[in-house]
Structure formats: C-alpha cells, structure tokens
C-alpha cells in the first residue's frame, strides 16, 4: 500500500506507507487534517474476511491513524495516541461533522456489525467548513476546487468529490483545519465549469456557504 504524489507537472511517484500500515488489507481510507497542524493525515480501515476459501481471512489489522508530516510521508500513531480502534472486517470510512463543532469526524462500517462513530477531539487550532451550493444537476458543486489562504502564507487546497473509500460517499463539505496561532484570510473557488469566485474571510471557524450560480 502506498500513495501517489503529484509533482504538479503531471508526474506521479509512488511512495509506500509505513510497514505498520501494511499489516493487513485496507478498503476504507479517509484523508483530512485531524490535528490542525497544516498537514493532511490518513486513516485506514483494515482487514478482509471474504477472500478465496483457501486463502483465509486477512485479519492482522485494527485500523490506524497516520499523521502526515507534510512531505508526503506519514507516521503511524498508536491506539493510545489516536483513540482509533477498529477490529473486525472493517470496510468503509466516511468523513462528516457529527456533533456540529465543524471538525471532521468519522463513520466506519464493519461487516456483520453495527457502524462505528469516532468523534474528533482535537483541542488545538480552529476548523472551518466550506460548503458549496451549485446549480441544478450539481447542487453540491462536485468537482470544484477550493484554495484557502492562511496568514502565514500557506495555501490549503480541497476538492469536492462524490465517492470515497469502499462503496462510500463522505460529506461534500470541505474541512479546513487552521493551525493554532494562524488564521484564514481568503478563499478561491474554481467550479467544474471554470468559474472563479474569490472571497475574503472574517473568521477561521464556522461554516462558509458559497453559491456557484
């Protein structure tokens, strides 16, 4: 298992994930900045209980959170560090805000079991949701690209997509985690049809709704 990094010039390079992340097959994946350090993190749902009978279950994993280091590499976190424990035949992971604090939470599915909920208890930094309202036929603005400019000069980028993980669709809200001591200044939205919208921001938390019509 690994990630393909885009150099911005149309070339992708493969980088394997840490060995601890590869102890089992993984069907469910979720990317977001869960700890508000400005880097994208990765959560994995492990295991596969339905291979060929002669193969047997692939069941060596308990799920894992990998902290992004900002250079395309990831550091595995222990369960006591992340609070994420997902045994069994785990399949899908979906991102959404379940408790109204604008921070990205997780919903996981496990075959022959009930869904599992993991609430984000990040205590540092702010979280900002960008919600797009598109035209008829694309009311969620799928395919739009949002760039968020921070005071420190860094730009965070998110894209609205309609499918993720295993037979799953996460929320179309875009979650931007703002590191402690920083603030969001402005955003730029590029719609699938090429329309560009720019808007200044007055807060680094809450929900910002952008209409694409």
Give the tens place of pLDDT for each residue, 30-89.
999 999 999 999 999 999 999 999 999 999 999 999 999 999 999 999 999 999 999 999
- Parallel, antiparallel or unpaired: strands 126-133 and 206-211: parallel
- Six token digits for residue 184: 């969001």
pLDDT at 197 (0 to 100)? 97
Predicted confidence band of residue 200 (pLDDT cuts 50, 70, 90): very high
- Whether residue 196 contacts residue 212, with contact meaning beta carbons closer than 8 Å, is answered with no
pLDDT at 120 (0 to 100)? 95
Whole-number percent of the chain with pLDDT over 70: 100
pLDDT at 123 over 80: no
Q: Which residues contact 202 (CB under 8 A, 6 or more apart)?
A: none
Domain map of the chain by residue range? 2-211
pLDDT at 8 (0 to 100)? 87
- The model's pLDDT over 88-113, given as tens digits with 9 standing for 90+, comes to 999 999 999 999 999 999 999 999 99
Residue 67 CA from chain centroid, whole number = 12
Q: How far are the Cα atoms of 2, 45, 64, 73 from residue 18, in angstroms, in the given order?
A: 8, 15, 11, 8
- Mean pLDDT in the chain? 95
């Amino acid at each position: 298992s690994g990630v393909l990094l885009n150099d911005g010039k149309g070339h992708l390079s493969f980088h394997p994930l840490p060995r601890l992340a590869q102890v089992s097959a993984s069907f469910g994946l979720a990317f977001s900045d869960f700890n508000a350090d400005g880097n994208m993190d990765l959560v994995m749902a492990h295991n596969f209980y339905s291979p060929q009978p002669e193969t047997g279950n692939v069941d060596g994993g308990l799920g894992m959170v990998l902290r992004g280091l900002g250079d395309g590499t990831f550091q595995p976190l222990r369960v006591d560090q992340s609070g994420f424990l997902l045994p069994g035949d785990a399949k899908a992971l979906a991102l959404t805000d379940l408790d109204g604090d604008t921070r990205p939470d997780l919903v996981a599915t496990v075959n022959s079991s009930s869904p599992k909920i993991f609430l984000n208890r990040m205590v540092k930094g702010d979280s900002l949701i960008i919600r797009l309202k598109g035209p008829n036929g694309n009311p969620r603005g799928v395919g739009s690209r949002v760039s968020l400019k921070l005071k420190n000069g860094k730009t965070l980028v998110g894209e609205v997509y309609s499918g993720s993980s295993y037979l799953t669709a996460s929320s179309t809200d875009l979650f931007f985690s703002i590191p402690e001591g920083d603030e969001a200044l402005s955003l730029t939205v590029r719609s699938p049809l090429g329309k560009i919208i720019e808007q200044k921001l007055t807060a680094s938390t809450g929900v910002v709704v952008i209409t694409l019509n």
